[in-house]
Structure 1
Amino acid sequence: MDLKVGILFLYAIVGGLILGVSFPFTGGVFPLAFVAFVPLLIANYQIDKAVKGKFFIRLGVNYLYFVIFNAITVWWIYNASPSGAYMAIFANALLMCLPFFFAGFVRKHLSEGKALLSLLVLWMAFEFCHFYWELSWPWLNLGHILGDSPKLMQWYEYSGVSGGTFWILLVNIFIFIIYRNIVFKKETFKIQTPNFIFVIGAIIVPVLSSLFIYYRYEEKPNPVNITIVQPNIEAHTAKFYLPAQIQLNKLIMAAEADISEDTDLILAPETAIPYPVKEDGLAISPEVLMLKNFLDTSGQIPMLIGADTYQIYEKKNSVASRPYGTEWYENYNTALMLKSNMPLELYHKSKLVLGGEKLPFVGMLPFLDEYSVELGGTSGMLGIGEEPVVFEAKGVFYAPLICYESVYGDFASMFVRKGATIITVITNDGWWGDTPGYKQHRMFSQIRAIENRRSVARSANTGISCFIDQRGEIISEMGWDEYGTIQGEINQNEEITFFSKYGDFLGRIACYLSLAMLLYAFVEKIKKTGAWNKMQPKSR
């Protein structure tokens, strides 16, 4: 085949733009996602027919596609850290090329059909691994494209986000097959009838199923009255410079205006206690005493609030530990449950922001610690919480997700399995400014509500603070750059969804299938080289 490289890169540009504008709040035209991969699949198909230069052409085309997609969707990280934005765009784009690279390997040693199947499972396996490994950055997983359309993702209570990824990729692959058969293989439209029917069904059935679930789902009345505080303290110039007392006074004044004897919880944002407080003396720190005094004089209402805390250790506790004379200290991004006349309850953030709160492979390469950047919340290398903690107050059980943790569906479901009946999210999204970033972040809370059928209360320092029902719909919210509170009732739920119970089972299955497919291709490669026969025992 005469390979016109310029056309291949044009495919990459067009496809990357289409996928970028399909993502929520950078276009939000989600139907485009069902054709966004078709140009890239066409380009890779033509590359497979080339005789020379396949590797570098494939890498260049795929990398350009994903750089464009990443740049369109997460450019706003630049407002917090230019280096963080470069890492999120260029490094993540390179990682996204891996499924196509391995699918090319399968195509070379097996067949085109098996390569398309392998691409589906390889991509899903890649997204699953992106939740767990050192370079974890699952923000752009394809299943999130439906995040601003709750009516269309109700079946996430069974499949989680991976189900959306499967849906989007499957439709793309079959549309590509139709195009390939007609344009390259010169088959007639009539022969493609089964494929057309499949594509139509593959789009319509999930939509109708989701709408059916949406309109039939009813919450069981079990109300909790929550007051959410949005202190709106500017992240760059005030949040970590103003005295803590001034910031907490602002928070208390807002809460006082909206609480009542019916209030079950006051919810305040991440790092509302903005400066490091030693955990051994946390209960008698000026900040906590100030808040407890407010609670004691306001009907003894519990408060869930974010804090910057640290612990002292006699010896190094983890890669996040810092020297402190002859001892070591370790910072944490912490959620506190404050209750009158009761001990403090603490939870340390477990899913840390890559680059801002943790650095990959720093245990093996300690010098990387110098390159930590500020992307939100506390910054620098932080200690990690060992396991999810569920807070209890007035008989209600809360999952205290901190900021970036709301991106992790499998992780959030662990709180539900431990008894959480309400999900709370505390965050500080002010670092990114008035950009798509904070809107996308709120969207993840809607997805978590559907996956677990849990109502969500979300407190964000500069917005958007909101209440979300169990169908993922926003009940009420306080907009960006506003100061005040919102008060509302949301229902508890004790039932466990399929996803809450089993987690991301589709991602796990995809990992096993990917390994099997790659092993199969590797064995076939050995057979083709003749090395397989040499490995067989000789007959006598």
Structure 2
Amino acid sequence: MLQFAPLLAMSTAGLALGSANTIYQLPPLVLLYPACLYLLGLQAESGVIAFRRGLLAGTVAFSACLYWIAVPFAEQTAMPWYLAISGPVGVSFLLGIYSAVFSWCCYKLLRNATPLYVGISTFFLWGTLELARGTLFSGFPWASLAAAFSDWPAYVQPVSVLGAEGYSALLAALACYITAALITSSVKHSVAALMSLALLFTSSYYSWIQPADADANIKIAMVQGNIDQGAKWNKRYMRGTVDRYITLSKQVLDHPVDLVIWPETSMPFYLQSSREYLPLIRSLAIASKAPYLIGTPGYATGTGGRKFDIFNRAYLIDSEGLMLSWYDKVHLVPFGEYVPFYIPFAEDLLQGTGTFEPGTKHDPISVGNLAMGVLICYEATFTELVQDRVERGANLLVNISNDAWFGKTAAPEQHLDMTILRAVEQGRYLARATNTGITAIIDPKGNITTKGKSFRADVVFGSVGTRTGFTFYHRFFSLIRALIIAGAIAVLAYSIYTNKKKEI
């Protein structure tokens, strides 16, 4: 079998080149990652060594994917690049712990297992670790196996049944099943594993080509301001920012739409109390004869001894210029919107308003026939948040974001890939308006029907539809997750039982 160094290189290449990147992407390469972690565990001399090798492999592979985390550290603070790289390495180390646990489990539980048992066990183990990765330490479900296939929407349809975590688990299971069959020279299991993978992709493709049952008859305009992150919160540039968004939005006067969307914090001031700018935007909405959903900071009477609480907010201004309702971001970005620990330099990373507070309202923003489940920035990467929006009646998903932090890196494409999964999981159209890109409309099958060019001030026009039905995954969301965790517990219990039986 392969030695440690080649496995480390293959696992890194698999995750980095299988996921979205700026060099070359081939989604099936991502299957190398779980296969190599399985082999690292299988070939280890002890559980400790398996854990260490899995940790190193995970840290290196995720660092190759998430290198862009260093960009805001270097460009928004005075931190030199050689120190800024500690950002992605630190995050990758935490994510590498899940890879380490997987390799440890492979050593402890699967060394003498049949290929079929390897496949079944790794499904539950990988799925449980994916669920943990999206929850613990604030959660960071980035660079999943399922997300790697978002660029090929024909092959992400299983997420409407299993969810992203379940589909990632299935991909990992098939990768490990094939690997186990090959190293045991089992022709029967090798054929069965390859046929299972072929059946999975064939059925996914068949589901993808079936016609959608929702008409895209609602016209929308998404305004991409392309405001540089370094100037965004500078008061000297605020008038220019407002003028740019208003000028771009006037295109709607010649191309009537049903909804106009501005990105996250597109108005970098407190719009709710702005005597200078709020009247201009109200007049624009009236002239456009369309409601506007606008990202901006908001505030309310403070709690916990604070005079004011500040929120990352999305306001709805209707076609009569009335500010009807709003949504406050619930899941905040550590070090971008709040500092979880006292780290002096990290204050420089916070957006211009300082520390945000998490919102408490989860209901859709409604106007006319639209019930918009709003997701701000990386909230769209969290399955449970989108599940909640649809459960509360959202018939359209809207993601507003600002990825200008990360420049021309792989981050915007990776962010889009995660968002595509949410549309397929819930069977909803998803409109995504961003500051610098990638602005797009995603249909319930994961197809990008409209896409703007990155780093360009523009208005992206397109059409969406509303849906009220539920996918299999939505209906059985809690049960599917519970079964995955129960399966992992059963695998561990069975291993303990068989080990005790051998001792007797």
TM-score norm. by structure 2 comes to 0.88
Give 1:179 shift.
2.7
Q: 1:64 aligns with which of 31, 37, 56?
A: 56
* Deviating more after overlay: 400-409 vs 134-143: 134-143
Provide Cα deviations, 1:214-235, integer angstroms capped at 9, x if missing partner. Answer: 2112343251111110111001
The separation in 1 between residues aligned to 2:449 and 2:103, in whole angstroms, is: 41
1:220 matched to 2:214? The reply is yes
Give 1:106 shift.
3.6
Q: 1:425 aligns with which of 381, 389, 399?
A: 399
Contact 1:229 1:486 in 2 (8 A): yes
Give 1:104 shift.
3.5
1:284 and 1:10, CA in 2 relative to 1: closer, same or farther beyond 3 A? closer
Q: 2:294 aligns with which of 289, 301, 305?
A: 305
2:34 alignment partner in structure 1: 37
Listed as ranges, the gaps of 5+ residues in structure 2 are 74-83
The separation in 2 between residues aligned to 1:349 and 1:378, in whole angstroms, is: 16
1:153 and 1:115, CA in 2 relative to 1: closer, same or farther beyond 3 A? closer
1:209 alignment partner in structure 2: 203
1:232 alignment partner in structure 2: 226
The separation in 2 between residues aligned to 1:178 and 1:231, in whole angstroms, is: 52
The separation in 2 between residues aligned to 1:377 and 1:148, in whole angstroms, is: 31
1:437 and 1:284, CA in 2 relative to 1: closer, same or farther beyond 3 A? closer
The separation in 1 between residues aligned to 2:500 and 2:308, in whole angstroms, is: 53
Kindly provide the amino acid, as one letter, of the partner of residue 453 in structure 2. G
* Deviating more after overlay: 508-517 vs 482-491: 508-517
1:177 matched to 2:151? The reply is no
- Secondary structure at the counterpart of residue 337 of structure 1: strand
Residue correspondence of structure 1 range 270-281 to structure 2 within 5 A: 270-276=264-270
Contact 2:252 2:288 in 1 (8 A): no
Provide Cα deviations, 1:414-448, integer angstroms capped at 9, x if missing partner. Answer: 21222212211110011111111111112223222
The separation in 2 between residues aligned to 1:15 and 1:383, in whole angstroms, is: 38
Give 1:107 shift.
5.0
Q: How many percent of aligned residue pairs carry the same amino acid?
A: 20
The separation in 2 between residues aligned to 1:223 and 1:44, in whole angstroms, is: 52
Q: 2:451 aligns with which of 477, 483, 501?
A: 477
Kindly provide the amino acid, as one letter, of the partner of residue 317 in structure 2. L
Contact 1:227 1:488 in 2 (8 A): yes
1:432 and 1:376, CA in 2 relative to 1: closer, same or farther beyond 3 A? farther
Give 1:489 shift.
1.9
Listed as ranges, the gaps of 5+ residues in structure 1 are 183-191, 317-322, 531-540
Give 1:343 shift.
4.3
Residue correspondence of structure 1 range 18-37 to structure 2 within 5 A: 18-25=14-21, 27-37=24-34
1:84 alignment partner in structure 2: 87
Give 1:469 shift.
2.1
Provide Cα deviations, 1:381-427, integer angstroms capped at 9, x if missing partner. Answer: 43112242211122211111111011112321221222212211110
Number of residue-to-residue matches in the alignment = 490
1:90 and 1:461, CA in 2 relative to 1: closer, same or farther beyond 3 A? same
The separation in 1 between residues aligned to 2:350 and 2:197, in whole angstroms, is: 38
1:136 and 1:381, CA in 2 relative to 1: closer, same or farther beyond 3 A? farther
Q: 2:278 aligns with which of 282, 288, 297?
A: 288
Contact 2:442 2:450 in 1 (8 A): yes
1:467 and 1:38, CA in 2 relative to 1: closer, same or farther beyond 3 A? closer
The separation in 1 between residues aligned to 2:234 and 2:161, in whole angstroms, is: 41
1:153 matched to 2:156? The reply is yes
- Secondary structure at the counterpart of residue 311 of structure 1: strand
Work out which of the two has the higher radius of gyration on C-alpha atoms and give 1 or 2: 1
The separation in 2 between residues aligned to 1:223 and 1:15, in whole angstroms, is: 44
1:334 alignment partner in structure 2: 313
The separation in 1 between residues aligned to 2:349 and 2:122, in whole angstroms, is: 32
Residue correspondence of structure 1 range 336-355 to structure 2 within 5 A: 336-339=315-318, 340=320, 342-355=322-335
The separation in 1 between residues aligned to 2:13 and 2:103, in whole angstroms, is: 18
1:13 alignment partner in structure 2: 9
Kindly provide the amino acid, as one letter, of the partner of residue 244 in structure 1. M
Give 1:125 shift.
0.7
- Secondary structure at the counterpart of residue 137 of structure 2: coil
The separation in 1 between residues aligned to 2:166 and 2:384, in whole angstroms, is: 13
1:509 alignment partner in structure 2: 483
The separation in 2 between residues aligned to 1:509 and 1:465, in whole angstroms, is: 36
The separation in 2 between residues aligned to 1:219 and 1:524, in whole angstroms, is: 50
Residue correspondence of structure 1 range 345-424 to structure 2 within 5 A: 345-358=325-338, 362=340, 367-368=341-342, 370=344, 372=346, 381-424=355-398
1:320 alignment partner in structure 2: none
The separation in 2 between residues aligned to 1:239 and 1:402, in whole angstroms, is: 18
Q: 1:500 aligns with which of 456, 474, 478?
A: 474
1:456 matched to 2:430? The reply is yes
Kindly provide the amino acid, as one letter, of the partner of residue 308 in structure 2. Y
Give 1:370 shift.
4.6
Note the aligned Cα RMSD (angstroms): 2.9
The separation in 1 between residues aligned to 2:321 and 2:284, in whole angstroms, is: 13
1:151 and 1:528, CA in 2 relative to 1: closer, same or farther beyond 3 A? closer
The separation in 1 between residues aligned to 2:152 and 2:393, in whole angstroms, is: 28
Contact 2:181 2:187 in 1 (8 A): no
The separation in 1 between residues aligned to 2:349 and 2:202, in whole angstroms, is: 39
Contact 1:222 1:493 in 2 (8 A): no
Contact 2:122 2:176 in 1 (8 A): no
1:188 alignment partner in structure 2: none
Provide Cα deviations, 1:458-508, integer angstroms capped at 9, x if missing partner. Answer: 111011212222222112222111012022222222222122333364433
* Deviating more after overlay: 287-296 vs 62-71: 287-296
Residue correspondence of structure 1 range 36-55 to structure 2 within 5 A: 36-47=33-44, 50=45, 54-55=46-47
Kindly provide the amino acid, as one letter, of the partner of residue 399 in structure 2. V
Contact 1:244 1:287 in 2 (8 A): no
Contact 1:356 1:374 in 2 (8 A): no
